[in-house]
């Protein structure tokens, strides 16, 4: 593995955020951070709503939501040519979308859902509940942390049987920061009748969307600078008339996507302000931000890994053709023997080192996940690397 170097900061980018300067925010991947211009745009919308709630909710609100959705869908291009924004709907997040998709399938006893052991925890919980209630079966495919794309496709394809109804695959995995071969898997399953759901929670703003899935969802509040609670669910045409809406509201009769987006008196201001996040991203330069963040995450991984005595070659690579803004560092086994220990360690790092990180417990081991974002600097990772070993020794 070549020695990573920190990228040059993007001029002015750090000033766009209102984050506490006394804390190293190295976990953008969990909850994101909303730029000040987006915060202000949302506040103006809230002021408008509170100045005249009747007018806000009854005078063209759903047309405004649809306009915002079309803007976001055109940027993400989740369909084959980017010309079908009516094939997408705004939802709260990827976890919400997973439950919508599972409910839509109307699973029966003996039906099967195939996923990998790199899946997001809340989605795995949704699968488990759906199987308990329907009698369906969950088949989890183990994928080694380091594996070739073709081996991943072969393993998932081999798990598919005549009873498989749905395959769920992450575009970028949350616990392991891996890029999975979504495009190749969609191609491998084409013509089988098995639906493919791509959980692309970390894709918008960091990598391109992958078209061709039956269902694709991406959170815009992580890497696309939208307010939290903003995600786009793209649905293939054959499924749109069958989408099961979890909340029946006055828009129910409009069908997809309006029935999903019409949630009575919810706060729509985040969705309406989301295009401002894309404006900020484009102003900074989409390609420049992606490269900066990926390079910074790689640098942080190497600096922290070296401090823990790990050989650079032992640090997991994300794989795939697109660099991503997250990397993981394996932690000593004694420090994270179980999930509860990872929670405790993350809290101690926050309290004692004034650094926010993600720590995931995956396949019996703890992994520290570092993110890179335009507000981060190399010295934040260096400071964590300097102080983390002593904390781990005292665990």
Closest residue by Cα to residue 28 from 356, 291, 320: 356
Per-residue model confidence (pLDDT) at position 172: 98
- Same domain, yes or no: 51 and 199: yes
What is the arithmetic mean of pLDDT over 275-293?
97
Final residue before a domain boundary, out of 279, 296, 314: 279
Residue 84 has pLDDT above 90, yes or no: no
Is residue 316 one of the residues assigned to a domain?
A: yes
Residue 170 three-state SS: strand
Per-residue model confidence (pLDDT) at position 320: 86
Per-residue model confidence (pLDDT) at position 394: 84
- Same domain, yes or no: 246 and 149: yes
Q: Decide: pTM greater than 0.85.
A: yes
CATH number for the domain harbouring residue 383: 3.90.1150.10
Per-residue model confidence (pLDDT) at position 247: 86
C-alpha span between 153 and 275 (Å, rounded): 35
Final residue before a domain boundary, out of 252, 279, 306: 279
Rounded to a whole number of angstroms, the distance between the first and last alpha carbons of the chain is 30
Task: Give the 3-state secondary structure of 331-375.
Answer: CCHHHCCCHHHHHHHHHHHHHHHCEECEEEEECCEEEEEEECCCC
Closest residue by Cα to residue 232 from 224, 241, 220, 223: 220
- Same domain, yes or no: 342 and 273: no
Is residue 5 one of the residues assigned to a domain?
A: no
Structural domain count, the chain: 2
What is the arithmetic mean of pLDDT over 153-180?
97
What is the arithmetic mean of pLDDT over 158-164?
97
- Same domain, yes or no: 87 and 211: yes
Per-residue model confidence (pLDDT) at position 321: 84
Is residue 3 one of the residues assigned to a domain?
A: no
Is residue 261 one of the residues assigned to a domain?
A: yes
- Same domain, yes or no: 126 and 268: yes
- Same domain, yes or no: 95 and 214: yes
Per-residue model confidence (pLDDT) at position 1: 54
Is residue 163 one of the residues assigned to a domain?
A: yes
CATH number for the domain harbouring residue 92: 3.40.640.10
Residue 354 has pLDDT above 60, yes or no: yes
Residue 159 has pLDDT above 90, yes or no: yes
What is the arithmetic mean of pLDDT over 350-362?
97
- Same domain, yes or no: 256 and 303: no
**Better-scored residue on pLDDT, 85 or 268:** 268
- Same domain, yes or no: 222 and 95: yes
- Same domain, yes or no: 173 and 214: yes
What is the arithmetic mean of pLDDT over 66-95?
83
Indicate the average pLDDT of the chain. Answer: 95
Final residue before a domain boundary, out of 233, 248, 279: 279
What is the arithmetic mean of pLDDT over 51-68?
96
Domain that holds residue 260: 38-279
Give pLDDT tens digits for 194-223. Answer: 999 999 999 999 999 999 999 999 999 999
- Same domain, yes or no: 90 and 236: yes
Is residue 7 one of the residues assigned to a domain?
A: no
Tell me the CB-side half-sphere exposure of residue 325, using CA atoms within 13 A.
30
Residue 81 has pLDDT above 80, yes or no: no
Is residue 115 one of the residues assigned to a domain?
A: yes
What is the arithmetic mean of pLDDT over 276-294?
97
Residue 82 has pLDDT above 70, yes or no: no
The alpha carbon of residue 292 and the mean position of all alpha carbons in its chain are separated, in whole angstroms, by 19
Residue 43 has pLDDT above 80, yes or no: yes
> For a pLDDT cut of 90, what percent of the chain falls above it?
90
């Amino acid at each position: 593995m070549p020695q990573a170097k920190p990228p040059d900061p993007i001029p002015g980018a750090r000033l766009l955020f209102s984050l506490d300067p006394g804390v190293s925010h190295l976990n953008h991947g969990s909850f994101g951070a909303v730029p000040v211009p987006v915060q202000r745009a949302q506040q103006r919308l809230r002021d408008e709503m509170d100045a005249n709630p009747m007018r806000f909710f009854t005078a063209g609100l759903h047309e405004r939501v649809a306009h915002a959705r079309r803007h976001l869908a055109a940027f993400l291009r989740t369909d084959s040519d980017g010309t079908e924004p009516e094939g997408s709907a705004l939802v709260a997040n990827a976890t919400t979308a997973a439950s919508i998709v599972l409910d839509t399938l109307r699973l029966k006893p003996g039906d099967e859902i195939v996923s990998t052991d790199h899946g997001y925890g809340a989605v795995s919980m949704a699968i488990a509940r759906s199987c308990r209630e329907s009698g369906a079966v969950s088949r989890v495919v183990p994928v080694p942390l380091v594996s070739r794309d073709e081996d991943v496709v072969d393993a998932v394809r081999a798990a598919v049987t005549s009873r498989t109804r749905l395959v769920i695959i992450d575009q970028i995995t949350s616990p392991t920061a891996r890029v999975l071969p979504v495009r190749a898997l969609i191609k491998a399953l084409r013509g089988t009748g098995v639906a493919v759901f791509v959980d692309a929670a970390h894709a918008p703003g960091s990598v391109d969307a992958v078209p061709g899935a039956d269902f694709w969802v991406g959170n815009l509040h992580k890497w696309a600078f939208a307010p939290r609670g903003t995600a786009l669910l793209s649905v293939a045409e054959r499924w749109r008339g069958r989408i099961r809406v979890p909340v029946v509201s006055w828009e129910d009769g409009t069908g997809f996507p309006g029935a999903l987006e019409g949630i009575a008196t919810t706060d729509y201001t985040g969705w309406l302000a989301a295009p401002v996040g894309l404006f900020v991203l484009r102003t900074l330069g989409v390609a420049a931000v992606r490269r900066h963040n990926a390079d910074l995450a790689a640098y942080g991984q190497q600096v922290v890994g070296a401090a823990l005595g790990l050989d650079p070659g032992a640090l997991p690579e994300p794989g795939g053709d697109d660099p991503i803004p997250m990397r993981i560092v394996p932690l000593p086994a004694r420090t994270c023997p179980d999930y509860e220990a990872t929670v405790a360690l993350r809290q101690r790092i926050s309290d004692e080192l004034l650094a926010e990180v993600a720590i995931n417990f995956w396949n019996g081991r703890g992994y520290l996940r570092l993110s890179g974002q335009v507000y981060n600097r190399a010295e934040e990772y260096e400071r964590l690397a300097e102080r983390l070993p002593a904390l781990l020794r005292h665990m």
